[in-house]
Structures are given as C-alpha cells and as structure tokens.
Amino acid sequence: MALWTNVDGSAGKPKFLSDAEKALTFGMDTTEITAGSDNVTSVAVAVGGTRYAEVPSVTFSGGGGSGAAATATIAGRAVTAITVTNVGSGYTSAPTVTIQVPVLTIPTANINTTTNVITETAHGLALGDQVTYNHGGGTAATGLTNGVTYFVIASGLTADAFKVSATEGGTEVDITGTGNNAQFFTIVGATGATAVADLGFSSSGMTAAHAGWVLRTVGTGGRAGRVQTETLVAMGSMSSDASDDTVLPDA
C-alpha cells in the first residue's frame, strides 16, 4: 500500500508503508493488537513447479500448532498462488508447507478395458513421456503394476486420452481391471511446487500502538499529495472490522 508523502522535496510522491507504519494506519480492535502470532496468515509460492494438470493438495506440518489449511491455484501448469482457508492456532514457528507433486488421478470410470484407453482431460502428455503408476493404497488396475514406469505411445493419444506401454514405442498394456478411484500416475521429469508459510502480524514481536484508525485528509491543487489533517477514530465507533481477519485474526 502507498500513501502520499508530505515531506518537502518528496511531496506528491507515493510512500510505501512498512509493517510498523501499517500498524499505525489500519483499523484494529483490542484483541487484534497482539493476536495472530500463532496463526498461519499467508503462504508464498517459492517454486511453481511444472506440468500440473490438476490442482494439488496443500498440507502443513510442524511448527507446534494445528488446523491450518490452504488451497492452491494453478495456471500454465504451475502453482501460481496459495490461499489460506483456515489460519489454525498454536503455532510457535512457521510450519512446513507440502504441495502435492504433479499427478494424473485416474478413477475407475476413466479406464476403458476394451480399448485400453485412459481418459484424463487436458493431461498434457506427449509421445514418449514416462508415467509411473501408483495404486493409491487400493486395488491396482489389472495390467498395471504399482511403482512401475510406463511410456506414452502414439496409439490412442489425444489431448484428453492416452495409452501406455512397458517399453518406449512398444505394444499397449492390456488393462483388464479398472482398479480404484484413488489411483494415479506421476509424471517422470515433472517438478513439484514449494511454498513458505508466514505467521500473523505480531509473530515478529511487532504490535500495534493503539486500537483505532487514522483518517487522513490529503490536499488538492497546489497542496496535492500533502496530508492536511489526521484524526484518530476510536475502534468502538466502527461497526465491523471483519475484512482484515485473515491478516489480523481476532484470536
């Protein structure tokens, strides 16, 4: 966020606020002044990964707390953002974020035992790609072996379907059983995304100086960009502060 500076020589130029300055600007109730240090309030994507055809799961571990949850967003077959859906509680340090590696989930309905075609919308596979079958803890599809790597072949290959062979350019695997709904392929050579979690506002030892909101009146014309008045409004006069609860949780 930026406000206009009123320092002579810099008047009219945007001033980007530090966290400490934001604490003196935005509305907070008395609980929020010190709350949030044990909450996961944001997750930053460090590495987007490659070849994501499905939105991966996001999990948290360590940090001494529990309950944090988040969802991923993908674009261009990479993870582009992580949105926190539950901040959790009790974290004494930032937990480790684990993003599922790129997979192609193959429910039973997506295997045709007559044609040996495997259906997966926009799978992104190309001729010669290697995929490793995983039964997902259930019954394996008959003809496929858990942990074995197969090759995508030309026969049956479309944007939404493919067949596999035990050898590159070889004969298609004869699949006679559909397995289970948790089975999947991982893509050899694809890279998983990584991300870093951040705890709430006061985890760094920084707390707000007051519970309130600073209202600023900025000049126009010859005084454009210069702060003319500042008024501290008591938090009690505001009807709600819910819009900031992801960054500044109430507990």
Give the residue range(s) of CATH 2.40.30.180 domains in the chain.
Answer: 103-189
Task: Write out the DSSP string of 13-59.
Answer: SEEEPPHHHHHTTS---TTTTTTTTTSEEEEEEEE--S---SPPPEE
Specify the pLDDT at position 238.
Answer: 45
Report the pLDDT averaged over residues 71-85. Answer: 96
Percent of the chain with pLDDT over 90: 61
The pTM (predicted TM-score) of the whole model is: 0.68
The dihedral over CA atoms of 188, 191, 192, 195, expressed in degrees to the nearest 10, equals: 170
pLDDT tens digits along 21-61:
555 555 555 555 555 678 998 999 999 999 999 999 999 99
For domain 103-189, which CATH number applies: 2.60.40.10, 2.40.160.40, 3.30.1220.10, 2.40.30.180? 2.40.30.180
The per-residue b/e assignment along 198-227, b for 16 or more CB within 10 angstroms, e otherwise, is bbbbbbeeebbeebbbeeeeebeeeeebbb
Q: Which residue has the higher pLDDT, 118 or 216?
A: 118
Is pLDDT above 90 for 167? yes
CA distances to 113, 118, 135, 137, 205 from 178, rounded to whole Å, are 7, 10, 11, 14, 55
Q: Are 113 and 176 in contact (CB under 8 A)?
A: yes
